[in-house]
Chain A
Amino acid sequence: MRNFILFVRRFFNLILFLSLEIVCVILIERTNTLQGNDIISSANAVSGLVYKKRSDVVYYFGLRNMNDSLLNENAMLRRKIEDLKSIDTLKDSVALHKVISNDTNTHIVKYADYTYRSARVINNSINASDNYITINRGSKDGVGKNMAVISGTGIVGRVEHVSAHFASVLSILSAKQKVSAKLRDATIGYIVWDEKQPDQLQMIDVPPQAKVKKGDSVFTTNFSFFPPDILVGTVMRITVLKKNNFQKLYLQPSTNFRRLQYVYVVENKMSEEKKRLEDSTVKK
Chain B
Amino acid sequence: MNVYLKNTLRFIIIALLQTIILNKITLRWWSEPVGFPIFIPFVYPVFILLLPFETPVWALLILGFLMGVTVDTFMCTAGMHAAATVFVAYLRTNVLSALQPRHLSEYAGLHPSIRTMGWMPFLVYSAFLIVIHHLVFFSIELWNFSNVGFLLLKIAASSVTSMLFIVVYLLLFTRQSATRS
Contacts and interface: CB of A to CB of B under 8 A. Distances in A.
Interface stretch (B73-81, B96-104, B123-131, B171-179): B73-81
Contacts of A16: 57-58, 61-62
A3 to B, nearest CB: 21
A161 B150 CA distance: 30
B179 to A, nearest CB: 37
B78 A50 contact: no
Contacts of B7: none
A21 interface: yes
Interface stretch (B35-43, B45-53, B105-113): B35-43
B170 interface: no
Which 9 pairs of residues, A with B, have the shortest CB-CB distance?
A27-B79, A24-B83, A132-B76, A28-B79, A40-B78, A24-B79, A13-B57, A31-B78, A27-B78
A13 B38 contact: no
A42 B79 contact: no
Given A28-B78, A47-B74, A21 B69 contact: no
5 contacts: A40-B73, A41-B73, A42-B73, A127-B26, A196-B37
Interface residues of A, number: 39
Nearest to A199: B32
A129 B38 CA distance: 11
A26 B141 contact: no
Contacts, number: 102
B29 to A, nearest CB: 13
Given A42-B75, A47-B74, A50-B20, A126 B83 contact: no
B9 interface: no
Nearest to A26: B79
Given A21-B83, A129-B142, 13 more contacts: A21-B86, A21-B87, A24-B68, A26-B79, A28-B78, A30-B78, A40-B73, A40-B78, A41-B78, A42-B74, A47-B74, A196-B150, A258-B26
Interface residues of B, number: 37
A28 B83 contact: yes
Interface of A: 12-13, 16-17, 20-21, 23-28, 30-31, 37, 40-42, 44, 46-47, 50-51, 54, 123, 125-130, 132, 161, 168, 195-198, 258
Nearest to B16: A50
Given A20-B61, A21-B87, A125 B78 contact: no
Contact of A12 (B38, B58, B72): B58
Interface in B2-46: 16, 19-20, 23, 26, 34-35, 37-40
A201 to B, nearest CB: 15
Interface in B53-73: 57-58, 61-62, 65, 68-69, 72-73
A198 B38 contact: yes
A31 B90 contact: no
A125 B80 contact: no
Contacts of A23: 65, 79, 82
Contacts of A41: 73, 76, 78
B140 interface: yes
Nearest to B26: A127
Nearest to B141: A129
Given A28-B140, A127-B26, A128-B141, A20 B65 contact: yes
B79 to A, nearest CB: 3
B58 to A, nearest CB: 5
Given A17-B61, A24-B68, A128 B73 contact: no
Given A125-B23, A129-B142, A195-B142, A24 B76 contact: no
Contacts of A198: 38
A50 B87 contact: no
B75 A128 contact: yes
